[in-house]
Amino acid sequence: MAEEHVHDHSEHAAIEHDDMPSYYAILELSIRELLIERGLITADEVRHQIEVLDSRSPTLGAKLVARAWTDPKFKERLLANGNSASEEMGISIYDDTQFTVLENTDSVHNLIVCTLCSCYPRPVLGLPPDWYKSKQYRSRAVREPRAVLAEFGTHIADKVEVRVNDSTSNLRYLVLPVRPKGTEHYTEAQLAKLVTRDTMIGVSVPHA
């Protein structure tokens, strides 16, 4: 029985260790409590912002792309002003950044990166994938974009220009991919299912 007790105790100890907050979690909590204490923000505002962040995913960006594929006028507005076009569809760019949509064509393929950190269009894509934040992707996407694309299984013809776009703290990009051939009779909802996070970053292309 004694051995069983020791075994159980060690398991609980491991779980408790895993649940210990990190340095950054403690720092965030301390700053948050200080801001609330000084009346600069409220706990309700913090809760609401967390709910907004949790509600965002690539399905929102896919809706924008599908609408642009089926509505030429909306596409014009989206390319001219991503912020206001998103608002038309009830998608708020809550972080007050400039949201710019870049169109892929038969002659240009856009790739998005943030060379300094991990700036990303979270309002329409949610949280960035780990590889997007990695130092390797951030440096190699600029130096050798075609090699990086090939590692994602994306091979761009030599005649097509690969254009690397560097996001910043106040400017976020989204790629409008080329609509796949053979989708002329697809509904907007069907088209949206073809659009993935990676196609809107530019490391992949959609297929029917």
Whether residue 22 lies in the annotated active site: no
Question: Is 84 part of the annotated catalytic residue set?
Answer: no
Contact of 162 with 109, CB cutoff 8 Å: yes
Q: Of 95, 197, 192, which is closest to residue 152 (Cα–Cα)? A: 197
169 is in an annotated binding site: no
Phi and psi at residue 96, to the nearest 5°:
60, 25
Question: Is 204 marked as a binding-site residue?
Answer: no
Active-site annotation holder among 10, 30, 84, 117 = 117
Asked if residue 60 lies in contact with residue 67, where contact means CB atoms within 8 angstroms, the answer is no
Tokens of 103: 């169109």
To the query of whether residue 107 is one of the catalytic residues in this protein, the response is no
30 annotated as belonging to a binding site for a ligand? no
> Which residues, other chains included, contact 49 with Cβ-Cβ below 8 Å and sequence gap of 6+?
94
The answer on whether 117 is annotated among ligand-binding residues is yes
E strand or H helix at 194, and its extent?
A: none
Annotation marks residue 114 as catalytic: yes
- Residue positions forming the annotated binding site for Fe(3+): 114, 117-119
Active-site positions read 114, 117-119
- Residue positions forming the annotated binding site: 114, 117-119
